[in-house]
Each structure stands twice: as structure tokens, then as C-alpha cells.
Amino acid sequence: MDTQLTDLIRAASAVRKQAYVPYSGFAVGAAVQCKSGAVFVGSNIENISYGLTICAERIAVASAVAAGQREFVAIAVVADTSEPIVPCGACRQFLAEFAPELIIVSATMRGGQKIESLSHLLPDPKRGILENVHIH
């Protein structure tokens, strides 16, 4: 794996420690690499009203967008699982808003790694919407 992706995994792994997970205990870290080279990180934030929980991936991307970044090349996701995890359906759609071809690098705390493309996990994220929604 190239060093940029290794660095991205390291950033995701570091921010995972900030996860606020009093309900599940399942900490996730994410780091998104912008086209500009900047990296933004996020960890999951749970809520007593469970459905309001925000995944690490969306926190990372929201932080990047708030800083003026909208072009992304890769996102790393780290969790302490036996197999690398991939973003949930909601996050896939959220990521596809900005980067339908995003590279997803998943890693475990035990060194497992996997690379996938968002377009494989979520084909046609905007089909039927772009043609019918009037975009201002």
C-alpha cells in the first residue's frame, strides 16, 4: 500500500481514540484525503437518541467541507474488528455526494487491510435524482 494511504490509516487510527461511544462501545476512526493534500479526521459520535448517532466517515467529510474542501480522493476507516469494515449505506450516499469514485481503505487495529472503490459499494448514487431535481 502506498505511503499516503498508510498515513491516512494512521490518522484514522489516532482519531479513533476520540470516539464518543457510550452506548455501543464500538469506536471508529476515519480520515479523508482531499485533492489539495489536506487530511481531515473524524470519529463516531453517539447519542442517547440512538438514531442521531453520526458515523466517523461523515464527521471527517463534514469537517473537510466546513474548511472549504470538496474534492476527495480517499478515505480511511479504522475499527477494532476481525475483518476491515466498510461505510454504512447512509455514509456511502453521503460520500458519493462529493466523490462517487472515492477510494475506501479499511483497516483493523490488528493490521488487516482492504481497498475498495465507493462506486463498487454504491453504484449509481444519483440515478433518478439529478434528472428530476431542479438544481439551483
Which positions lie near ligand THU, rule CB under 6 A?
21, 24, 26, 28, 44, 46, 53, 55-57, 77, 85, 87-88
Shortest distance (Å) from residue 107 CB to ligand THU: 12
Task: Report the distance separating Cα 13 and Cα 79, nearest Å.
Answer: 8
Catalytic residue among 57, 97, 101, 116: 57
Task: Report the distance separating Cα 43 and Cα 19, nearest Å.
Answer: 5
Told to judge if 131 belongs to the known catalytic residues of this protein, a careful annotator would answer no
Edge to edge, what strands does the sheet with 103-108 contain?
Answer: 39-43, 28-34, 72-79, 103-108, 113-117
Shortest distance (Å) from residue 26 CB to ligand THU: 4
Shortest distance (Å) from residue 88 CB to ligand THU: 5
**CB-nearer residue toward ligand THU: 21 or 73:** 21
Q: Identify the CA nearest to 56 among candidates 32, 81, 36.
A: 32
Any idea which residues carry the catalytic annotation? 57
